Structure 1
Amino acid sequence: MSQVGVHIDSGIKAVLFGLFIYAVGFESGPQFFRSLGRQSLREISMAAVLALSGLLTVLVIARVFHLDKGLAAGLAAGGLTQSAIIGTAGSAIEKLGLSPEATQAMQANVAIGYAVTYIFGSFGAILVCVNLLQWFMRRDIREDALQAEQEQLQGVRLYAQGESSALPDIVGRVLRVTRPGLTVQAIEGDAGASGVTVERVRRGGAEIGVTASMTLEVDDLVLLVGRRGPVVAQAGQIGVEERHAEDLDLVMVQRDVSIANPQYLNRPVGEIVTHLSADVRHGVFALALLRAGSPVPMKADTVVLPGDMVTLFGASADIQRAAQSVGPVILPSDKTDFVYHGLGISVGLLIGLLVVRAGPVPITLGSGGGALLSGLIFGWWRSRRHTAGNLPTAASTLMRDLGLAGFVAMVGLQSGQQAVHTILDQGVKLFLLGVLVTVIPLLIAMLFGRYVLRYRNVAVFAGALTGARSANPAFGEVLDKAGNNVPTVPFAITYALANVFLTLLGPLIIAFA
């Protein structure tokens, strides 16, 4: 379309890229800041080494082959398949003080380098991270993934969409009482400490209110709800199970509750449960502990941290009563908090206006880097305060995909005429240089991971390596080879870091190429 003279205002390009890069930062923020700790030093080191080796590779190639700043940044964007570099480099080029014509020509070269090198950037990462890595490690991804599954999940079972357990942890049973003299308190224990609760009782065809001191009579029908083991054990002591008792059914709800009460924070789960009051505990079952959206093993020694959420199951009234002590209920919603995210994008664009000079060299995050940093911070804050900043997955995906697709289309429309001439002149040369930019950093990171970081499990190693390169197609192939989600854990950490490190290569290449 650019060949027939279609022109698009640059402001549209800036808005679309801001939407894309903010969404990337917002999604990565919780995992990014969570990964900045001693427990993830290997992944942090992997992401940093790959980004640094990518930067040095591009700078050396630009110096040897006399590439201008735009082509160098384009090589990085395509060879490292980090499309965001186009935006951060383009913003940095605008701060160089060049004429409008020279600025647009250099920004066009960024798009040209990207277009020529991106295809092998995606394909080459698959070859290195899947095929070459297995040969180098002399191990099989699937075998190592199976070996590591239990170690990494620590007993937490994850189900994909549409999957469920044939033996659910929480069950309900309708029983006809055959043993006289039983009380509700005797069945439940102290505030449900036995793992079961009596939710309903029907006597003589009419439902009666349930109290702890109630004595059950023979032929009463009771609805028993609780964890499968205790329910099965108690059922044999109470009576016989009824096959049909729909009129005793009870609607149960599952809700995520943000743990905001200070008395539950920074304490082990076992200690919290021991000191729970009867009102909070009764009729409520904790199914999972979530941290930054990921399940955490709910063991007695697991420490609850600020920002954690607990998934509770029970009758609606019981959940609401427990939430008054624990924290606010986070209801699923398809509404987007436009005030929160509008502020986030605005703050990011303001950060992008800042310029720091290292001598004569201007260094700036630009609008893209600023929006990324703001997205990380606002995403992290959302993970700590769940009541503000809702952004449904579908809305975030639309922001990210529409923003990137529209931005790249704008770049093509603005630079298409010049791109045709440059590709005809330098296409093969740029393609081969892109191969080097794709392969060399991956090889360096692979050697560093094997001999310095001491990765032994190739499934974990492959996840970390693909994340450090933000290579989504390669990661998809790794998951297919693994057959489970083991590579996801290291990938999530290095991918969040790579989205920051690799994106920031744009202004660095413009400054030093």
Structure 2
Amino acid sequence: MEWLHHIFQKSPEAALFLSLAVGYAFGKIKFGKFQFGGVAGSLIAAVIISQVGVQIDNGVKSIMFALFIYAVGYESGPQFFNSLNRTALREIAMAVFMALAGLVTVLIVARLFGLDKGLAAGLAAGGMTQSAIIGTAGDAIAQLGLSPEETKRLQGNVAVGYAVTYIFGSFGAIVVCVNILEKFMGKDLRTASLEVEAKLSGGAPKLGPGQSAALPPLVGRIFRMEHLGGQTVRQVEGTGADNFTIERLRRGTEVVDPTPDYVLQNGDEILVVGRRDSVVDLASRIGTELPESGSLSFVMHSRKAVFTRKGMNHKTIAEVREAVDRDLRHGLYIQRITRADQPLPVLPSTVIEHGDVITFYGSDRDTLRAVKAAGYPLADDGKTDFVYMGLGVLVGLLVGMLVAHVGGIPLTLGSGGGALLSGLLFGWARSKHQMVGAMPSEASALLRDFGLASFVAIVGLNTGLQAVETIKTSGVMIFVAGVIVTVVPLLLTMLFGRFVLRYDNAAVLAGALSGSRSANPAFGEILGKSGSSVPTVPFAVTYAMANVLLTLLGPLIIGLS
């Protein structure tokens, strides 16, 4: 191994990228339904590679963590601030209770098992699968004024605790949020989701990836007018309660794009676009349906808008519809709504919030009008605004340098907390003013994933030798402590959600519970078993809150343990 040590001495960055490559390859391997994932895999790979002897500059580690934590805040910012309202009090309470339950559990377990500050923070990071705690706890340890050797030892123990407990942290969340919760609620997630959908929309089917409806909800049909001649376009469309529009007609050899006051005649051939059930029903009221006609062909458009309309935040689709003038909504249909890149059910009772992305379907002029009325067109050129991003990270690092002395104790957010706060604010501001600050979800995901995996890998490379010795002496004890930290807060929060917050639907409770633990693997399993987007709404709020609250457990555990 001397040759490998020689390579890493000359090029320590080679050890970093080797850790990432090996770690992500290992993280893809499935053990039953469980996978380590790239982050945990990179940490394990880095610890193994570190045994040949390698050190990477801590400045690189700080940069990687700042990029990661800023991206987390940037993604969560819109939902974090939008969730701070009365309509989401249950979800806020759920996330706060989870964070407090986790904090108290970690402190008690650390006291019972005699763990130091570093291992206690590592328990929280791995047992609650909140990898960002590694960074915030490391920052807090650096502020304690300890010797460099002791600081390095404690920071290394954070990574050790994380590595030992992360496996069950992911697996245990799936078991509690899916298996135990279903038995506790007495109903499987699929049935519970169907009940919500049936209540809200008569049980309309929800589509998964790669699926499309055999009977699409929005269709176009051509009819020959036989019964309603003499009425205006507005009058005929009014019979469909805004569920269809007449986009084009042919009278003899003339093709017309009619205005609302255009008078129709029997014998006109009209192109109708709208919701399928209303359009199909027109044959009995308007006349005979005709095959496709080239001269009546019409191109429809889908356009995305970021919803920021004043006075409409936290309103249901039905309430927005009633408040908007009929001429403004003419010819428009909502095709899709997403929040934090998660689809929402397009139902009359769905609450839309500022920052949601709405996809409108209709003619070119109608969709342009809708996007302007709803808020801002979504910039979709795939380019990142590096001016905005650079300023955001800079502001975070500067805020992290501020120190407040309370009772002689220095308190600071550190670079991690500062970057998180800056990311939240800059992400929220971007959601309100989409013309600046573009960061495609793919770019944000790259910053988040690469930043975190690199940070964790560097921690593993720099502290791996020490980690192996600690695992040899107390690995089983740490694992048992991690099981407690994983299971107890989840069970307590589930009981709190059911009996105090009165969640009475298994799918909704599962979404809120997994989000309050920011348990992405568990949420993925919930979506798979429910076959529905119903759990997404409570998950979006609690997940945004949890990303902030759980990340802040790092310095709290260091200060209180």
Structures share fold, TM-score greater than 0.5: yes
Tell me which amino acid in the other structure corresponds to 1:382: R
1:56 matches 2:104: yes
Q: Which residue of 2 aligns with 1:435?
A: 483
CA contact (8 A) 1:178 1:240 kept: yes
CA contact (8 A) 1:155 1:297 kept: no
The correspondence for 1:492, drawn from 540, 550, 561, is 540
Alignment of 1:82-101 (within 5 A): 82-101=130-149
Q: Distance in 1 between matches of 2:261 and 2:507?
A: 56
* Pairs aligned (count): 509
Q: Which residue of 1 aligns with 2:440?
A: 392
Q: Which residue of 2 aligns with 1:338?
A: 386
Which deviates the most, 469-478 or 262-271? 262-271
Q: Distance in 1 between matches of 2:517 and 2:350?
A: 32
CA contact (8 A) 2:379 2:434 kept: no
1:77 matches 2:128: no
CA-CA distance at 1:191 after TM superposition: 13
CA contact (8 A) 2:121 2:557 kept: yes
Q: Deviations over 1:438-463 (max 9, x none)?
A: 23323333443344334443333333
CA-CA distance at 1:198 after TM superposition: 3.7
Tell me which amino acid in the other structure corresponds to 1:83: S
Q: Which residue of 2 aligns with 1:473?
A: 521
Q: Which residue of 2 aligns with 1:112?
A: 160
Q: Deviations over 1:82-140 (max 9, x none)?
A: 11110001111222223333322221111111112211222233333334444445554
1:269 matches 2:320: yes
Alignment of 1:371-450 (within 5 A): 371-450=419-498
Tell me which amino acid in the other structure corresponds to 1:452: V
CA contact (8 A) 1:269 1:302 kept: no
CA contact (8 A) 1:350 1:370 kept: yes
Tell me which amino acid in the other structure corresponds to 1:350: L
Root-mean-square deviation (Å): 3.6
CA-CA distance at 1:310 after TM superposition: 4.9
Q: Which residue of 2 aligns with 1:40?
A: 88
Q: Deviations over 1:57-102 (max 9, x none)?
A: 3223333444322222112211221111100011112222233333
Q: What's the secondary structure of 2:208's corresponding residue?
A: coil
Q: Distance in 2 between matches of 1:482 and 1:304?
A: 22
C-alpha spacing 1:32/1:158, structure 2 compared with 1 (3 Å): farther
1:173 matches 2:232: no
CA contact (8 A) 1:85 1:503 kept: yes
Q: Which residue of 1 aligns with 2:407?
A: 359
CA contact (8 A) 2:304 2:378 kept: yes
CA-CA distance at 1:485 after TM superposition: 3.4
The correspondence for 2:364, drawn from 288, 295, 316, is 316
Q: What's the secondary structure of 1:160's corresponding residue?
A: coil
Q: What's the secondary structure of 1:108's corresponding residue?
A: helix
C-alpha spacing 1:304/1:35, structure 2 compared with 1 (3 Å): closer
Tell me which amino acid in the other structure corresponds to 1:377: L
CA-CA distance at 1:412 after TM superposition: 0.8
Q: What's the secondary structure of 1:8's corresponding residue?
A: coil
CA contact (8 A) 1:292 1:383 kept: no
Q: Which residue of 1 aligns with 2:557?
A: 509
Residue ranges of structure 2 left out of the alignment (5+ in a row): 1-48
Tell me which amino acid in the other structure corresponds to 2:555: P
C-alpha spacing 1:265/1:423, structure 2 compared with 1 (3 Å): closer
1:329 matches 2:377: yes
CA contact (8 A) 1:46 1:468 kept: yes
CA-CA distance at 1:16 after TM superposition: 1.6
Alignment of 1:177-326 (within 5 A): 182=230, 185=233, 188=236, 195-202=243-250, 205=253, 207=255, 210=258, 221-228=269-276, 231-232=279-280, 234-235=282-283, 239-258=287-306, 262=310, 268-273=319-324, 275-276=325-326, 278=327, 280-287=328-335, 295=344, 299=348, 307=355, 310-323=358-371
C-alpha spacing 1:148/1:283, structure 2 compared with 1 (3 Å): closer
Q: Deviations over 1:330-367 (max 9, x none)?
A: 35342222222222222222222223344344333222
Q: Distance in 2 between matches of 1:462 and 1:326?
A: 32
CA contact (8 A) 1:17 1:404 kept: yes
C-alpha spacing 1:155/1:24, structure 2 compared with 1 (3 Å): farther
Q: What's the secondary structure of 1:117's corresponding residue?
A: helix
C-alpha spacing 1:305/1:9, structure 2 compared with 1 (3 Å): closer
CA contact (8 A) 2:251 2:268 kept: yes
CA contact (8 A) 1:156 1:296 kept: no
C-alpha spacing 1:213/1:490, structure 2 compared with 1 (3 Å): closer
TM-score using structure 1 length: 0.85
Residue ranges of structure 1 left out of the alignment (5+ in a row): none
1:28 matches 2:79: no
Q: Deviations over 1:459-512 (max 9, x none)?
A: 333333322222223333333443433333333322222211111011111222
C-alpha spacing 1:170/1:447, structure 2 compared with 1 (3 Å): closer
C-alpha spacing 1:396/1:187, structure 2 compared with 1 (3 Å): same
Q: Distance in 2 between matches of 1:259 and 1:450?
A: 32
CA-CA distance at 1:9 after TM superposition: 1.4
TM-score using structure 2 length: 0.79
Which deviates the most, 443-452 or 95-104? 443-452
CA contact (8 A) 1:122 1:474 kept: yes
Which deviates the most, 403-412 or 190-199? 190-199
Q: Distance in 1 between matches of 2:404 and 2:202?
A: 46
Q: Deviations over 1:410-462 (max 9, x none)?
A: 11111112212222222222222222322332333344334433444333333
Q: Distance in 2 between matches of 1:369 and 1:264?
A: 32
CA-CA distance at 1:164 after TM superposition: 3.5
Q: Distance in 2 between matches of 1:324 and 1:13?
A: 43
C-alpha spacing 1:191/1:258, structure 2 compared with 1 (3 Å): farther
CA contact (8 A) 1:330 1:386 kept: yes
CA-CA distance at 1:388 after TM superposition: 2.9
CA contact (8 A) 1:269 1:303 kept: no
Q: Distance in 1 between matches of 2:183 and 2:345?
A: 34
